[in-house]
Amino acid sequence: MEIGRYTVSIQQAMLDDLHQRLAHTRWPDEIPATSWEYGADLKYMTDLVEYWRTRFDWRVQERAINALPHFRAIVDGVGIHFIHEKGRGPAPIPIVITHGWPGSFVEMFRLIPLLTDPAKHGADPRDAFDVIVPSLPGFGFSDRPTQRGMNNFRIADLWAALMDGLGYARYGAQGGDWGASVATALGLAHPANVIGVHLNFIPGSYMPHLGANARGLSDAERSFLKDADEWAATEGGYWHIQRTRPQTLGYGLNDSPAGLAAWIVEKFRAWSDCGGDVERRFTKDELLTNVSIYWFTQTIHSSCRLYFETRQRPLHFDEGQRLTVPCGIAHFPREAPFPPREWVERGYAVTHWSEMERGGHFAAMEEPELLAADIRTFFRALR
């Protein structure tokens, strides 16, 4: 496997083009006093785009990104970008942490030092990790897939090959959003290599076997399934188009930075524990760094394809199929709908379950200390 150091460097011509496009944004109108009810709020978006055009400094963010050790590897013919930060402790264990959509590797910036150097942050150095944060294929600085079938199972195989190429025979896996699906698939396909799986999200396509031999649904399970249907009807528009017509969506989002920002930032507001004010949880610079990565790499359409590929191969368990490696779950309260433990235990060997006090979908950004502490606690018993 070919591995080399990688430096993020965006050409000035791309920055100039972005600024020109932002300056010529053609704005839609809005029904007065509707705020975010119809989607991304016009006042907020015009302010954010103006900040992006006149005050956001990509070069500052680029330097911060490059302060971490970045690499690119050719894994089974696919170029994969990843961060690889070694732990500081007597016996760090490796852990591969996978981001989701509409996030990127920058989601993990606050989490990484808490895991690699716990002593510096008031925790036990014996809980240190070697942290590997890859960019999913079709996201960020990884290659955009050129063939069908780049689903979570295929990505899990790539991660297994990457970890083997880095010299790690045994490792943990962690993830939220798509990362939860990849970590699950990794544990299913490579149980001899995976020490344990820690999730702060239950994969959306997860369906345990509910055949004739399965026990009946509990009240909590029935309530969850009802909530999931209601959520899909009221909040799932993005999900439906991305899983059916991602290419069509891509023409607009790949051409309009304002449209791209609206599509992504609306989700950061809706899915986080922000009380309706997205900047209670994320600064403009954090939001725009993430959006800018999608813009400069032209990966919004390729990232959306993962929804299409998952529809072709969802995480549906056959009779008797289970994730047998130990699994830890961290439920952040604004991550909803979230299944009850008995639903998860139909397919996962749950040995650890935490109900968090606060936080939402972007746990590594919103509550990195809480997430890091839970990861440490779960893996401590598996060292």
Summarised one tens digit per residue, pLDDT across range 227-262 is: 999 999 999 999 999 999 999 999 999 999 999 999
* 3-state helix vs strand vs coil in the chain, percent to 5: 45, 15, 40
Nearest-angstrom CA–CA distance, 140 and 150: 15
Instruction: Supply the pLDDT for residue 220.
Output: 97
Q: What is the pLDDT of residues 124-180, one digit of tens each?
A: 999 999 999 999 999 999 999 999 999 999 999 999 999 999 999 999 999 999 999
Instruction: Supply the pLDDT for residue 276.
Output: 97
Nearest-angstrom CA–CA distance, 93 and 115: 10
CB 138 within 8 A of CB 299: yes
Catalytically active residues, by annotation = 177, 307, 361
Who's near 65: CB < 8 A, 6+ residues apart? 8, 106, 289
List the end-to-end C-alpha distance of the chain, in Å, as a whole number.
Answer: 28
Query: Can you list the domains of the chain with their CATH numbers?
Result: 2-22+39-380 (3.40.50.1820)
Name the average pLDDT for the chain.
97
Write out the H or E segment, with its range, that includes residue 39: none
Q: Tell me which residue has tokens 């069908």.
A: 148
Q: Which residues pair with 94 in a beta bridge?
A: 130
Write out the H or E segment, with its range, that includes residue 170: none
Whether pLDDT at 9 is above 90? yes
**Burial of 9: CB neighbours in 10 Å, binned 0-12, 13-18, 19+:** exposed
User: What does pTM read for this prediction?
Assistant: 0.97
Whether pLDDT at 211 is above 90? no
Nearest-angstrom CA–CA distance, 269 and 280: 10
| Sign of the alpha-carbon dihedral angle for 115, 117, 123, 127 | positive
Write out the H or E segment, with its range, that includes residue 50: helix 42-54
Q: What is the pLDDT of residues 315-373, one digit of tens each?
A: 999 999 999 999 999 999 999 899 999 999 999 999 999 999 999 999 999 999 999 99
